[in-house]
Structure 1
């Protein structure tokens, strides 16, 4: 039975989606779809999570798509407009677990440039003892190596640790490494999952 928590951040504690920004940038939804599928794609964004700076990562795109220069720059200059607040159910769970004395840690795919501002979004983050941030490590989930690094750095026993993430691929890797897991798809399902394990 798990007695520790390992939290993902994006779309588990805070809501993040590039479409939240770019639906404001483009009047026509089809133009927004085209931009996000062909210019600033999620595959392209993954480099930020690996530690590439915004400036270095956008340079090739600016050369290929000069007509989208303003929109490409907006990925950094309007980064915070991609967020639509925190997820109250997760914040409440983190606070309740802290009151129970449950050790809590974080493992996130995130740029080192945006991590400080992200954890400033919720006071609940003060209860997470330490984070592994992909942009600092040059490794990203679902690579098993970043899970192993996290396990070793925090001294976690996977069988004694519940990992909560919104990505099925990340959940699959964690399970293969022996972690207890909760695939976060519905905020309302989080509390019952924690109660079922006796954590709350």
Structure 2
């Protein structure tokens, strides 16, 4: 089906994200830092903030498990901006090409509510699409089917005419299961080629 709507993920598609960057000075030993981010402030722990849990609740939960790491746990939120140090300019250029060509573009992201607004302040292009579904706002996360359906309903999309771009294979499969078209982001040049092959108005 012809693509009428393009939906971008944000982290690792439009902006870089790496929690290690917030802890280079606090935990300079690479092995200790990796263990902290695997066991204390893990991806799964942080995902609950993307699902809408407050940072106060998150910190209390982690400190209860690791009372000796309280300062480091609180540093996750305090130093969050260090985790998103730059945009993927070539992907942003693609986003803007689509918008300039009149393509309907929205965004769908797993992101905590407050850090997303902080990210919009750092990266104004995150305000340029028709709108954004933020998981922390609605307490749903990818790849759950409900968040894709919510996005369709919110923005009046037709699933079969909607193309989703995400770096996560699981999230791409989640979109396909919801009836969307989807491609996995690996690099801006590959995204450009994929969009061009699908007939979207981007330069070769």
Same fold (TM over 0.5): yes
Distance 1:161 1:120 in 2: 28
Structure-1 residue corresponding to 2:36: 35
- Partner residue in 2 for 1:56: 57
Describe the SS at the equivalent of 2:16. Answer: strand
Cα separation, 1, equivalents of 2:25 and 2:149 = 40
Q: Which runs of 5+ in 1 are unaligned?
A: none
2:113 maps to 112
For 2:8, the equivalent position in structure 1 comes to: 7
Name the Cα RMSD after superposition: 1.2
Compared CA separation, residues 126 and 138, structure 1 to 2 (3 A): closer
Matching of residue 180 in structure 1 with residue 181 in structure 2:
yes
Query: Counterparts of 2:180 and 2:90 in 1: how far apart (Å)?
Result: 22
1:123 Cα offset (Å): 3.3
Output the TM-score relative to the length of structure 1: 0.95
Name the stretch that deviates more: 59-68 or 103-112: 59-68
SS at match of 1:16: coil
Offset at residue 60 of structure 1 (A): 1.8
Q: 1:171-199 CA deviation, whole Å, 9 max, x = no partner?
A: 00111222111101222211111111221
Contact 1:94–1:127, Cα closer than 8 Å, also in 2: no
Equivalent position of 1:89 in the other structure? 90
Unmatched tracts of structure 2, length 5 or more = none
In 2, are the aligned partners of 1:86 and 1:121 still within 8 Å (CA)?
A: no
- CA distance in structure 2 between the partners assigned to 1:84 and 1:185 by the alignment: 19
**Helix, strand or coil: the match of 2:113?**
coil
User: For residues 198 and 24 of structure 1, what CA distance do their matches in structure 2 show?
Assistant: 47
1:131: which partner in 2?
132
Q: TM-score, normalised by structure 2?
A: 0.94
1:146 partner SS = helix
Q: Structure 1: how far apart are the matches of 2:29 and 2:188?
A: 31
Structural mapping, 1:7-26, within 5 Å: 7-26=8-27
Measure the CA separation in 1 of the matches of 2:93 and 2:197.
17
